Structure formats: structure tokens, C-alpha cells
Amino acid sequence: MATTEIVTVQRRRKYHWPEAQLNFWIFIMLVSSAILLGIFAYLTAIQNTLRLGIPWILPYMITISTLCIIFIIILLGLISQRQLLPGIVVLGSFILFVLFLTGLIETSIQLYGPSGAVNSYCGSRPNTEVIDSMQTAVWLANLGICTDFRTAFAFEIVGTIFLLWMMVMAYQVNRDDFD
């Protein structure tokens, strides 16, 4: 009796990621996440020192920044094993994009929102007729908080745009559509 042998050959598809763009993206996202983590941790420490309530945006952005750093570490591990799949990148980038966008919207409300927003206190100057050390210290602290919020807002914009860019880049890699 004749036996038939069926052999299936599976070819593993390789994805070609543009190295320079991927490295640039990783660097910018690590910088953005680390800066956001530091700023919001600092603002949380100030709120605790002053015994004030902590707005939900502070621990939220600390968590999101940490998640982004963990995601990048996972990506670096997959890159080192040459197993970085576009589907993983699109899914992770989309989740982080939505979270970053939520943080961006809330930070803009806190910074530029209705009366009592952070930016409404940023233009105040100390009285030049009577300048004492306490008034100057309060003004410098206020200026630092304003600068921190503006920097956080800027890096949230950068992070949101770069996450959107990564989704597009992963889609192009999946289609082998990269030049």
C-alpha cells in the first residue's frame, strides 16, 4: 500500500521596520513619558506638601507615562528578538493614544479652562513697591507651577502626535508600503 506524505511549509513573514524612524520614535516617546512622569510626580508632591486635594489628572498622567515607558521596554525586547509585529504596535499605540488624548484634554482644561485655571495665575507679578522674600518665593513657586503645566501640555501634544504617527507607520510596515 502506498502512503502519501503531506508536508506543509510555513514561511514566517518578516516585517521591515525603518530603523531610523523607529529609533527616533522610541527616543522621543521615552523623553516625553519621562518628562511627564517627573512633572506630574512633582506636582503631586507639591499638592501633598500643601495638604491640598490632588486632582485626578496628576495620578492619571503618572500612570499613563509609566504605561508608555513599559510599552517601550516591551517593544525594545521584541525588537531585540526580531519579533516586533505591527499588530502589537498598532494596538498598544492606539490604547496609549486614547489615554494621552484624554490627559491632553484634561490638562488643557486645567491650564486654560474657566476662571481659576492655572494660566489665570501665571501673569501675576509681585508688587514692586513692597518686595519681601515671602512674596518673591510665592511668585517663583507660582511661576514654576505655570511652567510645569505648560511643559506638560506641550509634551502631551508631542506624545499624542507621535503615537498617531506610530499607528500609521505600523500600518505601512504591515502592508510593506515603506520606501
For residue range 17-35, what is the model confidence (pLDDT) as tens digits?
889 999 999 999 999 999 9
Identity of the residue numbered 50:
L
Asked if residue 17 lies in contact with residue 175, where contact means CB atoms within 8 angstroms, the answer is no
Cell of 59: 495620578
- Tell me how far apart the terminal alpha carbons of the chain are, to the nearest angstrom: 54
DSSP assignment letter at 81: T
90 has pLDDT over 90: yes
Which amino acid is present at 78? L
**Grid cell locating 122:** 501665571
Output 122 or 16, whichever has higher pLDDT: 16
Does residue 15 contact residue 81 with C-beta atoms inside 8 Å? no
Helix (H) or strand (E) holding 141: helix 133-174
Kindly tell me the number of DSSP H helices and DSSP E strands found in the chain.
Answer: 4, 0
Q: Is 111 helix (H, G, I), strand (E, B) or coil?
A: helix
Instruction: Assess whether pLDDT exceeds 80 at residue 124.
Output: no
- Model confidence over 106-123: pLDDT tens digits? 999 988 888 767 877 777
